[in-house]
């Protein structure tokens, strides 16, 4: 079907918002998971997906008492007057360093209403809008940074009184700032402006199309035993007040509490609850949600082990300069054959380069090989894994002509992370081997 023809004519009181990335999701719901799946649920961090990294997201959320009513005091928080179940399908991909993009396809998949009340409801279930977003990080590192976000929303609901007849796409401009409070805790703030291309009022419906809005959100998280505990507050506020004849205000504000559990290196599971902080448009009295993010890649770009001087992860080392007396190198992305400690050919290539570098003067005196893992899996298993893989790297370097008596290996397991174990990209950085080199 053509865009905008998915739904039949809505009832006179249909509630629908065409809105931005972190405020409105499945139309009459203030819930929209971010497409990068990196840190929080609906709030952006400044971090972007690395080039070639693909994130797929699927979220369900169930809201109680979300729809608008045209009677005063019609809804009680202790009585279920309506329910709305939404589904969000998200795709995010890293384009270049510090730049990613994503698409969201929210749906209404179920609703229930009290037929004895004057209220709005959806005339038909299905896809409600299409959203596009892109984020660019201007500066930052593993401890936080600053990014700008631009997004567009294309409403797919006919006769939508909140957007108006003939409305154009909604444009949203935001900035995101985040900061690591400690190795395990982080916080973020998003602030922005929503520019609406409102259409003409729907005849006989006592609702004026919404005009521009200010948007904002806050988030904080704490990583505990491979589970990220997340709290968020998000809302929107009208730049210009319009007529409203329902029981809800034009401002919205909602609190969300949830968890993100890293099931595997690639798969993360979300679950949580929410509640309104103000009785505004699209804020349910109560909400529960669950969802998954599956991340993979890189699908292009660097898909091999790489080596760099410690402290300069953005610069790959060519190992052609004159060696110094004391150096520390990091090799990231060393991989092994399935269920073994045998190095893959790609990992062997970078270690061969390191072996040739170690043979250059001044003469190698001693080198310690340190193995590190991420936090997925039991701590004891990760400790053994880091020890065995560090030993495997040492044995390979011996096979390349490095004297055995000059080498030693040690494993630190998951105890010395250099990045966030709470997301896919951070875990990739933490799975590494470090080399402490001393020359005569």
236, pLDDT greater than 50: yes
For all residues of the chain together, what is the average pLDDT?
85
Residue 204: per-residue pLDDT: 72
212, pLDDT greater than 70: yes
- Summarize pLDDT for 169-192 with one digit per residue, the tens: 999 999 999 999 998 999 999 999
153: which residues sit within 8 A by CB, 6+ positions away? 18, 19, 20, 129, 130, 131, 169, 170, 172
For residue 120, name the pLDDT band (cuts at 50, 70, 90): confident
Nearest to 121 by CA among 69, 163, 165, 162: 69
Residue 390: per-residue pLDDT: 94
22, pLDDT greater than 50: no
Residue 387: per-residue pLDDT: 94
Residue 72: per-residue pLDDT: 66
Residue 15: per-residue pLDDT: 34
Mean pLDDT lowest for which of 12-26, 36-50, 114-128?
12-26
Place of tokens 């319009």: 242
Q: Between 242 and 272, whose confidence is greater?
A: 272
For residue 315, name the pLDDT band (cuts at 50, 70, 90): low
Residue 13: per-residue pLDDT: 31
286, pLDDT greater than 70: yes
Listed by start position, the domains of the chain span 54-296, 306-439
CA 109 vs CA 15, 273, 275: distances in Å: 15, 19, 21
- pTM to 2 decimals? 0.86
242, pLDDT greater than 90: no
For residue 161, name the pLDDT band (cuts at 50, 70, 90): confident
Give percent of the chain with pLDDT exceeding 70.
Answer: 87
- Summarize pLDDT for 299-308 with one digit per residue, the tens: 886 656 788 8
Residue 158: per-residue pLDDT: 74
Place of tokens 């990294």: 53
Mean pLDDT lowest for which of 5-9, 43-47, 322-326?
5-9
Give percent of the chain with pLDDT exceeding 90.
Answer: 57
Which of 3.40.50.10420, 3.40.50.970, 3.60.15.10, 2.40.160.40 is the CATH number of 54-296?
2.40.160.40
Please state, in angstroms and rounded to a whole number, the distance separating the CA atoms of residues 287 and 275: 6
> Residues 102-119: what's their mean pLDDT?
86
- Count CB-CB contacts under 10 A for residue 314: 7
> Spelled out in words, what is the top-level CATH class assigned to the domain 306-439?
alpha beta
């Amino acid at each position: 079907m053509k865009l905008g023809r998915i739904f039949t004519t809505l009832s006179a009181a249909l509630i629908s918002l065409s809105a931005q990335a972190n405020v409105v999701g499945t139309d009459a719901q203030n819930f929209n998971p971010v497409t990068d799946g990196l840190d929080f649920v609906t709030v952006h961090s400044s971090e972007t997906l690395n080039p070639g990294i693909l994130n797929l997201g699927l979220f369900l959320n169930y809201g109680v008492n979300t729809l608008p009513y045209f009677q005063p005091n019609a809804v009680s928080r202790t009585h279920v007057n309506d329910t709305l179940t939404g589904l969000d399908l998200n795709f995010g991909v890293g384009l270049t360093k510090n730049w990613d993009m994503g698409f969201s396809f929210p749906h209404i998949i179920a609703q229930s209403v009290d037929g004895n009340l004057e209220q709005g409801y959806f005339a038909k279930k299905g896809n409600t809008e299409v959203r596009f977003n892109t984020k660019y990080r201007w500066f930052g590192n593993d401890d936080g940074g600053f990014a700008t976000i631009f997004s567009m929303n294309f409403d797919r609901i006919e006769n939508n009184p909140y957007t108006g007849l003939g409305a154009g796409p909604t444009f949203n401009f935001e900035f995101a700032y985040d900061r690591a409070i400690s190795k395990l805790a982080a916080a973020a703030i998003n602030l922005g402006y929503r520019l609406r291309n409102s259409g003409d009022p729907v005849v006989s419906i006592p609702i004026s199309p919404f005009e521009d809005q200010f948007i904002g959100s806050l988030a904080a998280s704490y990583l505990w035993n491979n589970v990220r505990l997340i709290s968020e507050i998000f809302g929107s506020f009208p730049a210009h007040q319009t007529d409203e004849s329902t029981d809800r205000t034009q401002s919205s504000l909602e609190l969300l509490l949830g968890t993100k559990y890293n099931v595997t290196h690639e798969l993360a599971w979300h679950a949580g609850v929410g509640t309104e902080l103000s009785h505004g448009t699209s804020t349910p009295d109560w909400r529960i949600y669950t969802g998954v993010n599956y991340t993979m890649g890189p699908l292009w770009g660097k898909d091999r082990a790489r080596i760099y001087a410690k402290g300069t992860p953005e610069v790959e080392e060519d190992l052609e300069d004159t060696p110094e007396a004391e150096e520390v190198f990091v090799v990231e992305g060393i991989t092994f054959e399935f269920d073994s400690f045998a190095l893959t050919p790609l990992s062997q290539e970078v270690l061969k380069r390191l072996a040739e570098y170690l043979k250059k003067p001044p003469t190698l005196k001693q080198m310690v090989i340190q193995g590190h893992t991420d936090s997925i899996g039991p701590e004891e298993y990760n400790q053994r894994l880091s020890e065995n893989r560090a030993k495997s790297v040492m044995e390979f370097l011996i096979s390349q002509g490095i004297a055995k008596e000059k080498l030693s290996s040690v494993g630190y397991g998951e105890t010395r992370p250099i990045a966030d174990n709470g997301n896919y990209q951070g875990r990739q950085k933490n799975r590494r081997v470090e080399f402490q080199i001393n020359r005569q």
